[in-house]
Amino acid sequence: MNIGDASKQSNLPPKTIRYYEDIGLIKPLRDANGYRSFRERDVHKLVFLARSRALGFTIEDCRNLLALWDDQTRASADVRAIAQDHLSQIENKITDLQAIHNTLSQLVHDCAGDHRPDCPILKTLETFPKTT
Amino acid sequence: MNIGDASKQSNLPPKTIRYYEDIGLIKPLRDANGYRSFRERDVHKLVFLARSRALGFTIEDCRNLLALWDDQTRASADVRAIAQDHLSQIENKITDLQAIHNTLSQLVHDCAGDHRPDCPILKTLETFPKTT
DNA sequence: ATAGGGATTCCAGTCACTGGAGGGTCAAGG
DNA sequence: CCTTGACCCTCCAGTGACTGGAATCCCTAT
């Protein structure tokens, strides 16, 4: 299977697939003409990668998850640890974003948004304390 | 004022301040010895930048906000538009992260996390549909 | 004179791709 | 047989917003 079909099956752009080969996440074969030749196993890995990335795992997370996936003797605890760690990071990020959202939506709410030069948003950006 | 003091007052690392000068966000003067010399106005801008960045505005947003801040005749509507746009992006991001959080916490919950090789997390990464 | 702490520039690396140039390969139609 | 157009290849450079490090210079105090 050529890269175009692998791309369609995995929903990853060809550029990204080549990049994943570059950094050693997949190792497709090569045809005589130099074209990459993707086996079922390669496509399966690409699908796995697409989904892991969609859940926000980093490439290094993915590399570890793939290694565990390949390893028939892995302990599920190892996988769980990676996922749990990632989950905490997501929770922190959501908390941060919600704080930012609160501050910013208050600002937008307070702003008349008319033609006058007086703007509470800019005023606050000058003066509000770091920890709000 | 030297860069070290400007750094302390704005809570930005010196490297970042030099970078902000590189990309034209601030224009400190220079002393005879080549050291950057920060006026009140420069430090004020740095504080503004630190706070805007902490609220997640991009550098280009900040550039626009600073221009508006400098412009005595600006309309508050212009500022509000940037903030409103940014707010929508934050809302989208929170929604995405919450969906990811739901999926992932379910996975972690389902996973025994013991020494056995059977792992529902890896299984799901192979098979769950893109739009969950 | 020397030691330290600060300042300078410039180059390179991060993360995860993405865009583009410049070229080779293949199947179908004229 | 030739051309067209859709693929495919590699390699280089750029993104955003810094950050690290090397090599060097400046200033102050002992």
A50 with A98, same domain?
A: no
Chain C bases closer than 7 A to any CB of the protein: 6-9, 15-19, 25-26
B80: Cβ contacts below 8 Å, ≥ 6 apart: A108, A111, A112, A113, A119, A121
For residue B12, the tally of other CB atoms under 10 A from its CB is 19
B95 with B48, same domain?
A: no
Write out the residue range of the structural domain in which residue B48 sits: 1-57
CATH code, B17: 1.10.1660.10
> Taking a C-beta distance cutoff of 8 angstroms, is the pair A56, A86 a contact?
yes
Contacts of B103 in chain A (CB under 8 A): 55
A94 with A130, same domain?
A: yes
Q: Give the three-class secondary structure for A116.
A: coil
d(CA A6, CA A50): 12
A91 CB near a chain B CB, below 8 Å? yes
Instruction: Say if A70 falls within a structural domain.
Output: no
User: For the segment B52-109, what is each residue's pLDDT rounded down to a tens digit?
Assistant: 998 889 999 999 999 888 887 888 888 999 999 999 999 998 998 898 888 888 888 8
> Taking a C-beta distance cutoff of 8 angstroms, is the pair B66, B48 a contact?
yes
d(CA A59, CA A41): 19
How many domains does chain B divide into? 2
The size of the A-B interface in CB pairs under 8 A is: 159
Quickly state the pLDDT bin for A5 (edges 50, 70, 90): very high
